[in-house]
Each structure stands twice: as C-alpha cells, then as structure tokens.
Homo-oligomer: A and B are copies of this chain.
Amino acid sequence: MQPAAFEAHLAKVADAVEAALSALLGDAPAPGETARPDRLLAAMRHAALGGGKRLRPALTLAVAELFGADGEGALRAGLALECVHAYSLVHDDLPSMDDDDLRRGRPTVHRAFDDATAILAGDALQSLAFDILSDPRTHPDGAVRAELVLTLARAAGLGGMVGGQMFDLAAEGRFADGRPLALAETEILKLQAMKTGALIEAAATMGAILGGAGAEARAAISTYARAVGAAFQVADDLLDAEGESAAVGKATGKDAAAGKATLVGLLGVAGARARLDRLTADALEAVAPFGARADLLRAAAGFVAVRKS
C-alpha cells in the first residue's frame, strides 16, 4: 500500500474529527457543567478546529481497525488526542514560550484573543480531553476508559509532552546564560521522544487498548509507534532545513537560525535521511507479524517519511 492510501485515510479522518470536535465545542453545557462562556468557547474552537493533519486520530483509528475495534470509540479517543495536541500548541505559542504570531497561516490564539484567554482555552482543552475519554460513549467498559485516560495523562504530563517542552526550553538556553545547549544525540532523541513521540505512541496504544490487543501485539504496536514518532520528528527537521516555506506553511530554516539542536544539525542532511530510512524500516518490521491487516499502518509509516508539509 502506498503513502497515498494513508493520505486518503487522513482526509476522511480529518473531516470526521472536525465535525465531532465542532459538536463537542457547542454552546450547550454538558451534564455537570453550569454555563460555557462565549469568549472561551470561541478561543477553544479557534485552537481545535480548522486544520491540522489529524495524524494522531488517524493512527488511533488505523490501529483500532487492525484489532477489529469499534470506529466510534477510536474516533473519540482521537478527539481527546487532538484536544491535548491543540492545547499544547496554544500554550507553546504564548509570548513567554515560543512567542509565535501565526499557526497554520492564521493568528495564534493569544494574537486572535489575548494571553489570558489563550491560557484558559488551553487549560479547558486539556480538561475536555479527559472528559471525552472517561465518557461511557467512548467504550462500555470502564476499565478500558480508565486505561485510555492513564495512557494519555502519562504521555501528556511531566514525564512526556510537557516535560519535553521543558527540556526544549532549557536546550534553547532559556534558563542559563541564554546560549543554546550543545545536546548530544541521546539527549536530542530523549527530548523529541517526550515532546512529540509520547503523544504519537499514545495514539497508537489507545487504538490497541480499544481493540483489546494482547501484550505481545501491544508491544509490537508500541515499537512501531516509537519508530514512526521518531521518523516524524526527523522528517520535520529535514523539512525545516530543506523545505520551501510556502509548501511547509510556516517559516523554514528557523531551527538553524535559533541555534536549535536538531538531528539534521548533528548528522547532516544525508545522515538524517539515512536515519529516516532506518526508522521507517524499523516501523515496517514491527508490524510485519500482522500481515495485510497492517497495510494502513505501513502506508502511514511511508507517508510520515515522504510528507511535504
């Protein structure tokens, strides 16, 4: 199966995610809620709707399908992942963090609204993620819902995504003398595994949880997802180093200008390309035991390696 097959899957998932998130972010309070402030809701919609590749929900759905799980539950798990992903972008864009004005060609939330609203919108998106997962509509078995929550909470927290952003700020020299740290390869890999890898691995793991996969199958899916997550990051660094700004949709060459420690900086473009190939091979090897049932996951690994934006 070619990467294009995964692109078709992505497009279908993106439509479903957009519609479902828009419905969740309506103005009628849910049971247990009092009222939803208009401005907060508008900022949350600005953050969560209208774009993004929806790679994480696509992975959850692909893995869930491999194990024969219900699509509705996997879509809801994907919505939770997108809420966490969106909140992290809103907070990372703030002036006291990366200070970005644009995201996917639109003003960032704090530029479209204000800093306080952006902080609160991110906070509420994180709560919403766990609200979605723990709702009986996600899965009839409470133990499954609780395991989804635990998986996402660990991936998102201090030992995962948020911790990775913290390491990233430190690597940029934010807390020392202002000069970027010269990170060794193992440290760059750890930082990236936490900042972006943890949520990608959680996306695949949640599909396996929903599908009731056994320990061996889950280990294979984790190995696959760690390789895909690492490949995603190498591809991202290569796009930044080589891509044309218009195609990528954001400023390129930014990492080098910021003195950011990346694998491309450490291994060179050719070395990074070789690493990308090896990671893709690792991902394919991990899902080999699933045979044709893993075709969509193979296409996903290919897509991540060749994506242009």
Q: Which residues of A contact B (CB under 8 A)?
A: 29-37, 39-41, 44, 87-88, 91, 94, 96-97, 114-117, 119-120, 122-124, 126-128, 130-131, 133-136, 141-147, 149-160, 162-167, 169-170, 174-175, 190, 193-194, 198
Contacts and interface: CB of A to CB of B under 8 A. Distances in A.
Nearest to A37: B166
21 contacts: A29-B159, A32-B155, A33-B154, A33-B159, A33-B163, A34-B163, A34-B164, A36-B159, A39-B175, A88-B123, A91-B120, A94-B116, A96-B119, A126-B126, A127-B153, A127-B154, A128-B158, A141-B142, A142-B143, A142-B146, A145-B146
A90 to B, nearest CB: 10
Contact of A153 (B44, B91, B128, B142): B128
**Secondary structure of the A contact surface, majority rule:** helix
Contact of A142 (B142, B174, B198): B142
B142 A157 contact: no
A15 to B, nearest CB: 24
Given A40-B158, A115-B96, A116-B174, A150 B135 contact: yes
